[in-house]
């Protein structure tokens, strides 16, 4: 019975299929634009949204598309939009330890981050100063930007004697290399203390201290010597005249001084 029925009515079924396909073909070109994020529906038609960096000055009408205008300075829009104005860039307030990590532009918002030495805290929604590691602890490196300090105990042979949010544990001083002996062993909080220098290293050190003094002394002596020679030569030539002049000058000066006192 069924095969007979198919043979008898193939045309209506085909017609139905064709009609369905035709409807689909007509519907397909219209449907996608308005479902895309770059279009919107208004007054029964599909209109363009504004591209990032522009806002919608006027919506579309029955016979014209939307009017988009660029964002002003210090403004942005980072999506395809129907906004009637752009968004204002935020301020990275240095007073709140914020600094711009990306200055932003008309299509991308400015991004702020905490300054070096600070990290973002969800609790206060603000930048907090990084934790300082106590003596005996050192900051784990590499330091993570915008992350709180991770403090680690100093390993054997290393120490930290300060509170610091950035300093690593430092290695103990190697007294052997300095040609000295260990006077006090190091701890995680203090450096090794080396004994005072060995005798063989002392003389050069003393020479270094006394050398400038010696040079000054030599300089003085030579200046005095030269002055004495010059004076000697001069005195031999015009000795008497000079002494007379000198005495005259001294007398005059004294006389003026005593005169000043009397008046």
Ligand X SMILES: *[C@@H]1O[C@H](CO)[C@@H](O)[C@H](O)[C@H]1NC(C)=O
> How many binding residues for ligand X (CB under 6 A)?
7
Does position 74 interact with ligand X (CB under 6 A)? The reply is no
Q: Which stretch binds ligand X (CB under 6 A): 14-22, 42-50, 160-168, 169-177?
A: 169-177
Write the DSSP assignment of 112-152 as a string of letters.
EEEPTTEEEETTTTEEEEPPPBPTTEEE-SSPPTBS---EE
74, 93, 102, 183: residue in contact with ligand X (rule CB under 6 A): 102
Residue 185 beta carbon to ligand X: minimum distance, rounded to whole angstroms: 10
Write the DSSP assignment of 181-199 as a string of letters.
-EEE---SSS--EEPSPPG
108, 115, 150, 166: residue in contact with ligand X (rule CB under 6 A): 108
Minimum CB distance to ligand X smaller for 107 or for 146: 107
Residue 154 beta carbon to ligand X: minimum distance, rounded to whole angstroms: 15
What distance in Å separates the CA atoms of residue 148 and residue 141, rounded to the nearest whole number? 12
Question: In the chain, how long is the greatest CA-to-CA distance?
Answer: 163
For the segment 170-199, give every residue that binds ligand X (CB under 6 A): 174, 176-177
Are 182 and 175 a contacting pair, CB within 8 Å? yes
Does position 131 interact with ligand X (CB under 6 A)? The reply is no
Tokens of 107: 């299509």
Residues in a beta bridge with 113: 99
Does position 156 interact with ligand X (CB under 6 A)? The reply is no
Q: Is 120 exposed, middle or buried (0-12, 13-18, 19+ CB in 10 A)?
A: middle
Binding mask 196-235 for ligand X (x = CB under 6 A): ----------------------------------------
Does position 124 interact with ligand X (CB under 6 A)? The reply is no
Where does this chain bind ligand X (CB under 6 A)? Answer: 102, 105, 107-108, 174, 176-177
């Amino acid at each position: 019975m069924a095969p007979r029925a198919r043979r008898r009515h193939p045309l209506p079924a085909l017609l139905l299929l064709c009609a369905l396909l035709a409807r689909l073909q007509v519907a397909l070109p219209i449907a996608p634009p308005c479902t895309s994020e770059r279009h919107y529906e208004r007054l029964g038609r599909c209109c363009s949204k504004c591209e990032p960096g522009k806002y919608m000055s006027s919506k579309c009408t029955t016979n014209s598309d939307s009017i988009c205008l660029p964002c002003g300075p210090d403004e942005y829009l980072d999506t395809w939009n129907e906004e009637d104005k752009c968004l204002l860039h935020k301020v990275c307030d240095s007073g709140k330890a914020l600094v711009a990590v990306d200055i932003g532009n008309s299509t991308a918002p400015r991004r702020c981050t905490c300054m070096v030495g600070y990290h973002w805290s969800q609790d206060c929604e603000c930048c907090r100063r990084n934790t300082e590691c106590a003596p005996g602890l050192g900051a784990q490196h590499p330091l993570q930007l915008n992350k709180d300090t991770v403090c680690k105990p100093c390993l054997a042979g290393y120490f930290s004697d300060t509170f610091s949010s950035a300093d690593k544990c430092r290695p103990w001083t190697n007294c052997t290399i300095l040609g000295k002996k260990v006077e006090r062993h190091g701890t995680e909080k203090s450096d090794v203390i080396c004994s005072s220098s060995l005798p063989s290293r002392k003389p050069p050190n003393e020479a270094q201290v006394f050398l400038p003094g010696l040079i000054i002394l030599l300089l003085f002596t030579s200046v005095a010597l030269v002055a004495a020679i010059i004076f000697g030569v001069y005195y031999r030539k015009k000795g008497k005249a000079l002494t007379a002049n000198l005495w005259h000058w001294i007398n005059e000066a004294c006389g003026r001084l005593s005169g000043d006192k009397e008046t």
